[in-house]
Amino acid sequence: MSKKIVVYFTYTNNTKMIAEKIKTKLNCDILEIKTVIPYSEDYDTVVNDEQNSESSNHLPEIQNINIDLSQYDEIILGTPVWWYRPVPAIRTFLTRNDLNDKIIKPFATNAGWLGKTFKEIKSLCPNSKVEEGMDIVFQSYSDKLVTNEQDLENWIDTL
């Protein structure tokens, strides 16, 4: 049996809710990615700051992770979708860590605009096996799940 870890970033806690559900069901380790400089609690400020830096592909510094990723065969990767892409902190994580030969099982939380999120994760992990991702939709500006709960449970069961 392979060793698994859930790695995620969250802003509104929707991604955290899904990550913790997976951790509980699989009884595996979990790692929350956090930026060195936290995002503003004001949503509009975050939108303005990130939208302005999106075209530059700015990658924020993330806090050191105190987990040896070489111990894990599978990474269940959770990201919010910002501007049709994985959140910048997850892009930082993927570019700064050796994930060669890992199995990556991504999930993305969003309000219905997945964009190229999973394709970009795959391109950032060229030497990993990136499996088909789970698109998890919430109502806009809400923690109300739109994705069918049973579909989510069924996906978690495949992990």
Query: What is the CB neighbour count within 10 angstroms for residue 1?
Result: 4
Contacts of 4 (CB under 8 A, 6+ apart): 26, 28, 29, 72, 73, 74, 75, 76, 159
Q: How many CA atoms lie within 13 A of 124 on its CB side?
A: 24
Contact 149, 155 (CB under 8 A): no
pTM of the model: 0.95
Query: Would you say domain 4-158 falls under CATH 3.40.50.360?
Result: yes
| Domain residue spans of the chain | 4-158
Sorting pLDDT into bands at 50, 70 and 90, what band is 55? low
- 3-state SS record for 63-88: CCCCCCHHHCCEEEEEEEEECCEECH
Count how many Cα atoms sit within 13 Å of the Cα of residue 132 in the half-sphere of its side chain: 3
Average pLDDT over every residue of 59-79: 96
Contact 139, 111 (CB under 8 A): yes
pLDDT for 52: 65
Percentage above 90 pLDDT, the chain: 84
What's the Cα-to-Cα distance from 28 to each of 5, 25, 31, 76, 159, rounded to whole Å?
Answer: 6, 8, 10, 10, 11
Cα separation, 113 vs 159, in Å, equals: 24
